Amino acid sequence: MIQVSELTKRYAGHTAVAGISFHVQRGEIVGLLGPNGAGKSTTMRILTGFLPATHGKVRVAGFDVATESAEVRRRIGYMPENNPLYPEMRVREYLKFRARLKGLPRARANARVDVVLQQCSLTEVSRKTIGHLSKGYRQRVGLADALVHEPELIILDEPTIGLDPNQIRSVRQLIKDLSPKHTILISTHLLHEAELTCHRMIILREGKIIAAGTPDSLQQSVRQSLKVIAELAAPEAELKQCWEQLPEVALFDIVATDNGFHRCALTPHGGADLRPQVFALAKQRGWTLRELTRNRHSLEDIYVRLTRRHEEEEEEF
Amino acid sequence: MQAYLTLTRRELAAYLNSMTGYVVIAAAVFLTGLSFTVLLLKLQDTPTPAPLTELFFATPFFWLIILLAAPVITMRLFAQERFAGTFETLMTAPVSDLQVVLAKFTAAWLFYLLMWLPLLASSFILRRFTSLPAALDAGTLGGAFLGIALLGGVFVAGGLLASAVTRSQIIAAMLCLVGGVTLFLLSFLGDRVDAISTRLAQVCNHLNLFDHMNDFARGVVDTRPVVFLLSLTALFLFLTLRVLESRRWR
């Protein structure tokens, strides 16, 4: 669906995207992940034909973005960053306008507007002025606009930014529901977001791809750093002694919590799962164990490590 | 074609669905009304054997309205879209740059014409209450409105260009105002530079919007000013199109 090869974008004085290549298959949900300024929005703007590339080839649905821009734009539903809308228009009126602008015949436009209003739960606000809507509703209007002409490819730039957790959840569900019929490219700077919605992630930093793959494969690559969290009711000194004696524990950290419990974060050597050992130890010593988990935030760790590396290097100098 | 019509409709609705449109029309009605009153009071003192339309366009009032209205009407067209980011949603829809430029121009120009309709009403009121039917006839009125439409094309297209080069509506309005006033003042340069160079004077005479408008107001429709005003409009629209395209090679 998307073929990007050696894409470079230079603005006067700096390089926003530096020779990235990736492919997106039909029906996939792919997340472009990276800190602010990594080149996510620039990449999306080039994909949608809004900006030209400095170098490189970009093809969407078999059409060249630079030379067959109109064909490409017909097949893309795009929601830019910050979801710009016309505040003076009413929801239905706006969607109707966008549908007609994208070339749908009148009857088809009306029918599609009804469908997307339903799909994005906008029916009850369809007669309201966009400027008076809450941020969550406005975001859904932007999504409805991206969907209204049934595009093959949907590109969403930071679709959940600035929403409250409930709204984020509903937008995320909406995106997931679209996935078998549409190919979706979303950008986010939140790893958690990408992990929950995307089949595949592409992590960008300073205009370069620094990692790519499925959430599982990325997790595999960092299995060794999977931490185990255990909350035990035991004296701190005793805990400390235990962890020091366990050969599998590489690093540990103990924090006192309430009622004599201690929260221990244990980093194992070589990807070992420490949970059975912790449980056995608690049983043997008669400690109360109230939590035992393997840290699920390890992806966040690599993300932070990958994307922060440069800043740290700079600090060292 | 569908995209052009859809866009034109939205742009026109943007004027009529917001306060701005009505404020502009109200201001224009107030100023034309005031100009007419002043003109009539003057005529009571010194009777003048000329059609009223001609007298009206020979006063600074008419020019004041057109010079002020053009920036107010056109400043939002592109600058606001750029500022709000809707420019991106607009340009990533399957529409061509030309369709966007023409649609915005058409909507602004139609709104500008709508703004002048009360002038027609004032003329009819005047005819009703004066005993002289010759004070106003279809020919001069038609000529006057043709002049208004053609001049409006130039000023609206110029304002569109000003709006396309900046994200700030204030800057767009200022550029349009300065451009418009400059064009207007050139009308008076012709008489003065005659002594310096006849060639320059000839150029200035061609650019003499003030005299062109006077001719139209007398009901004289010469093809030269018509072609001139139309080509000036086309030039501004072409430049606007180039500005829009510039994001692709900048």
What the block records as the tokens of A19 is 């020779």
pLDDT in tens, A46-75: 999 898 888 899 999 889 988 888 899 999
Cβ neighbours of A50 in B, within 8 Å = 88, 91-92, 247
A227-294 has which CATH code? Answer: 3.30.70.3100
Answer whether A70 sits within 8 Å of B94, measured CB to CB.
yes
Cβ neighbours of B9 in A, within 8 Å = 97
Check residue A311 and give its pLDDT: 52
Helix axes B223-249, B138-164, angle to 10 degrees: 20
Taking Cα atoms as reference points, which of B61, B222, B203 lies closest to residue B146?
B222
pLDDT in tens, B57-92: 777 778 888 899 999 999 999 999 999 999 999 999
Instruction: Measure the N-to-C terminal CA separation of chain B; round to a whole number of Å.
Output: 29
Question: Is the CB of A103 inside 8 Å of chain B's CB atoms?
Answer: yes
Check residue A317 and give its pLDDT: 39
Contact status, residue A207 vs residue A38, Cβ threshold 8 Å: yes
**Cβ contacts of A243 within 8 Å, gap of 6 or more:** A249, A252, A254, A264, A266
Return the residue matching tokens 């000529």. B143
Question: Is the CB of A138 inside 8 Å of chain B's CB atoms?
Answer: no
Check residue B123 and give its pLDDT: 76
CA gyration radius, chain A: 24
* Averaged pLDDT score across all residues of chain B: 85
Tell me how close the Cα of A76 comes to any Cα of chain B, in angstroms.
8
Instruction: Return residue ranges of chain A for CATH 3.30.70.3100.
Output: 227-294
**Cβ contacts of B226 within 8 Å, gap of 6 or more:** B146, B150
Check residue A253 and give its pLDDT: 86
Tell me how close the Cα of A292 comes to any Cα of chain B, in angstroms.
48
Class of domain A2-215: alpha beta
What the block records as the tokens of A143 is 């999504």
Return the residue matching tokens 């996939």. A28
Residues in A 28-87 with any Cβ partner in B closer than 8 A: 45, 48-52, 70, 73-74, 76, 78-82, 84-86
Answer whether A100 sits within 8 Å of B6, measured CB to CB.
yes
* DSSP-assigned letters across all residues of A197-258: H-SEEEEEETTEEEEEE-HHHHHHTTGGG--EEEEEES-HHHHHHHHHH-TTEEEEEEEE-G
pLDDT along chain B (250 residues), means of 10: 92 88 90 82 76 70 87 93 92 92 96 89 76 68 87 94 94 94 81 68 76 80 88 95 83
Q: Where are the domains of chain B?
A: 2-249
Instruction: Measure the N-to-C terminal CA separation of chain A; round to a whole number of Å.
Output: 43
C-alpha dist (Å) from residue B53 to A33, A310, B112, B137, B229:
66, 73, 19, 9, 20
Check residue A75 and give its pLDDT: 92
Question: Is the CB of B107 inside 8 Å of chain A's CB atoms?
Answer: no
Q: What is the ipTM of this complex?
A: 0.85
Query: How far, in whole angstroms, is CA B53 from its chain's centroid?
Result: 17
Question: Is the CB of B1 inside 8 Å of chain A's CB atoms?
Answer: no
Check residue B78 and give its pLDDT: 94
Answer whether A80 sits within 8 Å of B88, measured CB to CB.
yes
Helix (H/G/I), strand (E/B), else coil: A23: strand
Return the residue matching tokens 């939590």. A291
Q: What residue ranges of chain A have pLDDT lower than 50?
A: 312-317
Contact status, residue A261 vs residue A280, Cβ threshold 8 Å: no
Question: Is the CB of B85 inside 8 Å of chain A's CB atoms?
Answer: yes
